[in-house]
Chains A and B, each alone.
Chain A
Amino acid sequence: AQSVTQLGSHVSVSEGALVLLRCNYSSSVPPYLFWYVQYPNQGLQLLLKYTSAATLVKGINGFEAEFKKSETSFHLTKPSAHMSDAAEYFCAVRSSNYGQNFVFGPGTRLSVLP
Protein backbone atom coordinates (compact mmCIF):
# COMPACT_ATOMS: atom_id res chain seq x y z
CA ALA A 1 0.00 0.00 0.00
CA GLN A 2 1.10 3.52 -0.65
CA SER A 3 0.28 6.78 1.02
CA VAL A 4 1.40 10.39 0.96
CA THR A 5 1.33 13.01 3.67
CA GLN A 6 1.93 16.69 3.18
CA LEU A 7 2.71 18.65 6.30
CA GLY A 8 0.87 21.93 6.28
CA SER A 9 -2.36 22.37 4.35
CA HIS A 10 -1.54 26.05 3.89
CA VAL A 11 1.86 27.68 3.64
CA SER A 12 2.42 31.42 3.32
CA VAL A 13 5.69 32.98 2.25
CA SER A 14 6.76 36.46 1.27
CA GLU A 15 7.70 37.20 -2.30
CA GLY A 16 11.39 36.41 -2.73
CA ALA A 17 11.52 34.06 0.24
CA LEU A 18 12.35 30.37 0.21
CA VAL A 19 9.52 27.99 -0.55
CA LEU A 20 9.54 24.63 1.24
CA LEU A 21 6.65 22.24 0.82
CA ARG A 22 6.94 18.97 2.66
CA CYS A 23 6.04 15.53 1.40
CA ASN A 24 6.51 12.16 3.06
CA TYR A 25 5.50 8.90 1.54
CA SER A 26 5.14 5.26 2.38
CA SER A 27 5.50 2.56 -0.19
CA SER A 28 6.21 -1.15 -0.07
CA VAL A 29 8.00 -1.03 -3.41
CA PRO A 30 10.44 1.49 -4.92
CA PRO A 31 8.30 4.48 -5.65
CA TYR A 32 8.00 7.00 -8.36
CA LEU A 33 7.37 10.42 -6.83
CA PHE A 34 5.85 13.51 -8.34
CA TRP A 35 4.94 17.09 -7.59
CA TYR A 36 2.03 18.69 -9.39
CA VAL A 37 0.71 22.22 -9.28
CA GLN A 38 -2.93 23.10 -9.77
CA TYR A 39 -4.26 26.57 -10.38
CA PRO A 40 -7.93 27.33 -9.62
CA ASN A 41 -10.35 25.47 -11.88
CA GLN A 42 -7.55 23.94 -13.89
CA GLY A 43 -6.00 20.52 -14.27
CA LEU A 44 -2.68 19.31 -12.98
CA GLN A 45 0.66 20.52 -14.25
CA LEU A 46 3.71 18.36 -13.63
CA LEU A 47 6.48 20.24 -11.83
CA LEU A 48 8.96 17.42 -11.50
CA LYS A 49 9.30 13.70 -10.97
CA TYR A 50 11.62 11.14 -9.44
CA THR A 51 11.85 7.83 -11.23
CA SER A 52 14.92 6.23 -9.57
CA ALA A 53 17.60 8.24 -11.32
CA ALA A 54 19.24 11.28 -9.67
CA THR A 55 17.94 11.95 -6.17
CA LEU A 56 17.97 15.72 -6.67
CA VAL A 57 15.41 16.52 -9.29
CA LYS A 58 15.06 19.86 -11.00
CA GLY A 59 11.73 20.87 -12.42
CA ILE A 60 10.03 23.73 -14.12
CA ASN A 61 9.68 27.27 -12.81
CA GLY A 62 12.76 26.99 -10.61
CA PHE A 63 11.43 24.21 -8.39
CA GLU A 64 13.46 21.25 -7.26
CA ALA A 65 12.99 18.31 -4.92
CA GLU A 66 15.29 15.82 -3.27
CA PHE A 67 14.42 12.17 -2.77
CA LYS A 68 15.65 10.97 0.63
CA LYS A 69 14.98 7.30 1.05
CA SER A 70 16.14 7.22 4.68
CA GLU A 71 13.61 9.89 5.55
CA THR A 72 10.95 8.72 3.06
CA SER A 73 10.69 12.31 1.99
CA PHE A 74 10.43 14.26 -1.25
CA HIS A 75 10.25 17.90 -0.21
CA LEU A 76 9.74 20.61 -2.81
CA THR A 77 11.79 23.79 -2.69
CA LYS A 78 12.25 27.01 -4.60
CA PRO A 79 14.86 29.58 -3.58
CA SER A 80 12.77 32.66 -4.28
CA ALA A 81 8.99 32.74 -4.35
CA HIS A 82 7.12 34.63 -7.02
CA MET A 83 3.55 35.84 -6.87
CA SER A 84 2.69 33.50 -9.72
CA ASP A 85 3.65 30.51 -7.56
CA ALA A 86 0.49 30.88 -5.50
CA ALA A 87 -1.46 27.69 -6.16
CA GLU A 88 -2.28 24.26 -4.78
CA TYR A 89 0.56 21.75 -4.78
CA PHE A 90 0.12 18.00 -4.70
CA CYS A 91 2.72 15.39 -3.98
CA ALA A 92 1.96 11.99 -5.45
CA VAL A 93 3.42 8.50 -5.34
CA ARG A 94 3.09 5.84 -7.94
CA SER A 95 4.16 2.25 -7.81
CA SER A 96 7.12 1.28 -9.97
CA ASN A 97 5.47 -1.96 -10.90
CA TYR A 98 1.94 -3.07 -10.27
CA GLY A 99 -1.01 -0.70 -10.29
CA GLN A 100 0.45 2.42 -11.77
CA ASN A 101 -2.24 4.79 -10.59
CA PHE A 102 -1.27 7.81 -8.53
CA VAL A 103 -1.91 8.20 -4.84
CA PHE A 104 -2.10 11.88 -4.10
CA GLY A 105 -1.32 13.72 -0.93
CA PRO A 106 -3.94 16.05 0.54
CA GLY A 107 -2.33 19.09 -1.04
CA THR A 108 -0.71 22.27 0.24
CA ARG A 109 -2.03 25.67 -0.68
CA LEU A 110 0.81 28.11 -1.20
CA SER A 111 0.14 31.81 -0.70
CA VAL A 112 2.74 34.37 -1.68
CA LEU A 113 2.56 37.69 0.11
CA PRO A 114 3.81 40.90 -1.51
Chain B
Amino acid sequence: GAVVSQHPSRVICKSGTSVKIECRSLDFQATTMFWYRQFPKQSLMLMATSNEGSKATYEQGVEKDKFLINHASLTLSTLTVTSAHPEDSSFYICSALTNIAGSYNEQFFGPGTRLTVL
Protein backbone atom coordinates (compact mmCIF):
# COMPACT_ATOMS: atom_id res chain seq x y z
CA GLY B 1 0.00 0.00 0.00
CA ALA B 2 0.87 3.63 -0.35
CA VAL B 3 3.18 5.07 2.27
CA VAL B 4 3.60 8.60 3.53
CA SER B 5 6.63 9.44 5.61
CA GLN B 6 7.40 12.39 7.82
CA HIS B 7 10.77 13.62 8.96
CA PRO B 8 11.72 14.18 11.65
CA SER B 9 9.46 12.10 13.86
CA ARG B 10 10.38 14.15 16.88
CA VAL B 11 12.10 17.52 17.25
CA ILE B 12 12.98 19.68 20.21
CA CYS B 13 14.06 23.24 19.58
CA LYS B 14 14.65 26.49 21.39
CA SER B 15 12.18 29.31 21.27
CA GLY B 16 12.81 31.64 18.33
CA THR B 17 14.28 29.03 16.01
CA SER B 18 12.67 27.68 12.86
CA VAL B 19 11.84 24.05 12.27
CA LYS B 20 11.18 22.31 8.97
CA ILE B 21 9.04 19.19 8.75
CA GLU B 22 9.02 17.08 5.59
CA CYS B 23 6.15 15.03 4.28
CA ARG B 24 6.87 12.57 1.48
CA SER B 25 4.67 10.25 -0.53
CA LEU B 26 7.00 7.34 -1.09
CA ASP B 27 5.35 5.37 -3.87
CA PHE B 28 2.80 7.65 -5.45
CA GLN B 29 2.50 11.19 -6.67
CA ALA B 30 0.41 13.62 -4.72
CA THR B 31 -0.58 16.98 -6.15
CA THR B 32 -2.44 17.68 -2.93
CA MET B 33 -1.24 17.23 0.62
CA PHE B 34 -2.79 18.37 3.85
CA TRP B 35 -1.24 19.50 7.11
CA TYR B 36 -3.03 18.88 10.39
CA ARG B 37 -2.22 19.84 13.94
CA GLN B 38 -3.16 17.92 17.03
CA PHE B 39 -2.91 19.27 20.55
CA PRO B 40 -2.66 16.80 23.45
CA LYS B 41 -5.85 14.86 23.99
CA GLN B 42 -7.58 16.73 21.19
CA SER B 43 -8.63 16.01 17.67
CA LEU B 44 -6.85 16.86 14.45
CA MET B 45 -7.42 20.28 12.99
CA LEU B 46 -6.68 21.10 9.38
CA MET B 47 -4.08 23.83 9.06
CA ALA B 48 -3.63 24.10 5.33
CA THR B 49 -3.96 22.43 1.97
CA SER B 50 -0.75 22.16 0.04
CA ASN B 51 -0.92 22.09 -3.75
CA GLU B 52 2.05 21.22 -5.89
CA GLY B 53 3.35 24.20 -7.78
CA SER B 54 1.04 26.74 -6.20
CA LYS B 55 0.48 28.54 -2.95
CA ALA B 56 -0.99 26.69 -0.03
CA THR B 57 -4.51 27.39 1.15
CA TYR B 58 -4.63 28.14 4.85
CA GLU B 59 -7.55 27.60 7.17
CA GLN B 60 -9.00 30.53 9.03
CA GLY B 61 -6.90 31.47 12.01
CA VAL B 62 -3.69 29.85 10.77
CA GLU B 63 -0.89 32.35 10.24
CA LYS B 64 0.60 31.80 6.81
CA ASP B 65 3.76 33.72 7.72
CA LYS B 66 4.20 31.55 10.77
CA PHE B 67 3.61 28.23 9.10
CA LEU B 68 5.30 28.24 5.70
CA ILE B 69 4.29 25.48 3.35
CA ASN B 70 6.16 24.53 0.21
CA HIS B 71 5.04 21.80 -2.17
CA ALA B 72 7.80 21.91 -4.72
CA SER B 73 7.43 18.42 -6.13
CA LEU B 74 4.76 15.76 -6.53
CA THR B 75 6.18 13.75 -3.64
CA LEU B 76 7.30 16.35 -1.14
CA SER B 77 5.62 19.02 0.95
CA THR B 78 7.38 20.87 3.74
CA LEU B 79 6.01 22.76 6.71
CA THR B 80 8.32 25.29 8.31
CA VAL B 81 7.39 26.65 11.71
CA THR B 82 9.12 30.02 11.82
CA SER B 83 10.28 31.64 15.05
CA ALA B 84 8.78 28.82 17.04
CA HIS B 85 7.37 29.46 20.49
CA PRO B 86 6.23 27.05 23.22
CA GLU B 87 2.61 27.43 22.14
CA ASP B 88 3.59 25.92 18.77
CA SER B 89 4.43 22.66 20.50
CA SER B 90 2.12 20.08 19.04
CA PHE B 91 1.81 16.93 16.96
CA TYR B 92 1.86 17.74 13.26
CA ILE B 93 0.43 15.21 10.82
CA CYS B 94 0.41 15.37 7.05
CA SER B 95 -1.62 13.42 4.55
CA ALA B 96 -1.27 12.92 0.82
CA LEU B 97 -4.03 12.49 -1.72
CA THR B 98 -3.64 10.18 -4.69
CA ASN B 99 -4.26 11.81 -8.03
CA ILE B 100 -6.45 9.69 -10.28
CA ALA B 101 -8.74 11.76 -12.44
CA GLY B 102 -12.43 10.97 -12.19
CA SER B 103 -12.22 8.46 -9.38
CA TYR B 104 -12.17 8.20 -5.64
CA ASN B 105 -8.78 9.32 -4.45
CA GLU B 106 -7.36 7.72 -1.37
CA GLN B 107 -5.73 9.82 1.29
CA PHE B 108 -2.85 8.44 3.29
CA PHE B 109 -1.55 9.83 6.57
CA GLY B 110 2.02 10.22 7.71
CA PRO B 111 3.11 9.01 11.15
CA GLY B 112 3.29 12.51 12.58
CA THR B 113 6.00 14.80 13.95
CA ARG B 114 6.13 15.73 17.61
CA LEU B 115 7.41 19.31 17.99
CA THR B 116 8.47 20.55 21.39
CA VAL B 117 9.58 24.15 21.73
CA LEU B 118 11.47 24.99 24.90
Which residue numbers of A lie inside 8 Å of B, CB to CB? 32, 36, 41-44, 46, 51, 90, 94, 99-107
Contact of A102 among B34, B111, B112 (CB under 8 A): B34
Q: Tally chain B residues at the interface, Cβ within 8 Å.
A: 20
Contact of A43 among B43, B107, B110 (CB under 8 A): B110
The tally of CB-CB contacts under 8 A between chains A and B is: 41
Residues in A neighbouring B105, C-beta threshold 8 A: 100
Residues in B neighbouring A105, C-beta threshold 8 A: 43
Q: Say yes or no for B46: interface residue by CB 8 A criterion.
A: yes
Residues in B neighbouring A103, C-beta threshold 8 A: 46
Q: Which of B38-53 contact A (CB under 8 A)?
A: 42-46, 49
Residues in B neighbouring A106, C-beta threshold 8 A: 42-43
Q: Say yes or no for B114: interface residue by CB 8 A criterion.
A: yes
Give Cα A103 to B59, complex, Å.
Answer: 12
The smallest C-beta distance from A102 to any residue of chain B, in angstroms, reads 7
